[in-house]
Amino acid sequence: MPELPEVETIVRDLKKEVVGKTFSDIWVESTKIVKDYKRFKNELLFKKILDIKRRGKNILFFLSSGKILLIHQKLTGHLLFGKWKRKNNKWVCDIEGPLKEDPMNSFLRLILFFKEGCQLALSDLRKFAIVEILTNDELQKKLNSLGFEPLSKNFTFEIFKNAIYKKREKKIKEVLLDQKIIAGIGNIYSNEILWDAKINPFKKVEVLKIEELKRIYNSMKKILKLAIKLRGESFFTYRTIYGQKGEFDKARKVYKRSEETCFRCGNVIKKIKLNQRSTYFCPTCQL
């Protein structure tokens, strides 16, 4: 699933490409993506995008009508910016390069057309993405349970410490994955953060020392910022809006590296399930 760095990369690119543009048409593959097609189309047509923001893993398009288009890409979805034409009952990209050539960009479930001539498409292998139009009150209610934004300037160490300690009986990786505590971190970056901080993911919060919490806090900021700079991780299906892979893979230290050598101490990386999630760590230098 695209995590905070991937979603933030998409939002930053979309702000450059589609803010100020007006919707002119819509195509959807099925009601699995948009349940009430007629209402959705009426709510979207001829509305201008005023701003785009991220909250957790949600992409929020603020419309001239006062409503918000929310897209959550879920497990395998990603948004693409380009031009497509219908040929032989199939959408074909007009732009040469990864948008057209990478198979992961070919599972089009939704296309939003702009009067300016370009399009925004949703490619989603598994069809789990959520697309809906909400009022501001509906949006607040939907996102009300989300935790702190980890890269916010207001998210100080003290706030982090107090938030983490609310789940003191839980294992630290479980808490990092809890969207009600911290919004946006998933399995990839929780593994990378704890490796960088030299903390065992199975360690309970209640036994963590202040110095260890500070290492986790600093590593969280460091890893997420680095991943955004490298435009995300494309180990699976994620691509940027231009259809390109992110480059975080060259910085990946522990995720999906079981039985490989630890870059820090030279010992073997292990994989153990934690709440059905594969957890990667070095048992030698993550204490």
Write the DSSP string, 149-217. Answer: -TT-TT--HHHHHHHHHTTTTSBHHHHHH-TTTBSS--HHHHHHHHHHHT--TTSBGGG--HHHHHHHH
Which amino acid appears at position 185 of this protein?
Answer: I
Sequence ranges of the domains in the chain: 4-143, 157-281
Q: What is the mean pLDDT of residues 7-28?
A: 98
Strand, coil or helix: 235: coil
How sure is the predictor about 22, in pLDDT bands with cuts at 50, 70 and 90? Answer: very high
Q: Is pLDDT at 287 greater than 90 in this prediction?
A: yes
Give the domain 157-281 fold: Helicase, Ruva Protein; domain 3 (1.10.8)
Contact between residue 229 and residue 9 where contact means Cβ atoms under 8 Å apart: no
pLDDT band at 31 (very low <50, low <70, confident <90, very high): confident
% of the chain at pLDDT higher than 90? 97
Mean pLDDT over 75-92 rounds to 95
Q: 30: pLDDT confidence band, cut at 50, 70 and 90?
A: confident
Q: Residue 32 pLDDT more than 90?
A: no
**Which residues are the active-site residues?**
2-3, 57, 277
Summary mean pLDDT of the chain: 97
pLDDT digits (tens, 9 = 90+) for 215-265: 999 999 999 999 999 999 998 999 999 999 999 999 999 999 999 999 999
Helices (H) and strands (E) in the chain, counts: 8, 12
pTM here is: 0.96
35 has a pLDDT exceeding 90:
no
Q: Which CATH architecture has domain 4-143?
A: Alpha-Beta Barrel (3.20)
Cα atoms found within 13 Å of the Cα of residue 135, Cβ hemisphere only? 2
Give the model confidence (pLDDT) of 95-151 as tens digits.
999 999 999 999 999 999 999 999 999 999 999 999 999 999 999 999 999 999 999
Res. 207: pLDDT tops 90? yes
* Residues 26 and 44 sit within 8 Å (Cβ to Cβ): yes
Residue 101 forms beta bridges with which residues? Answer: none
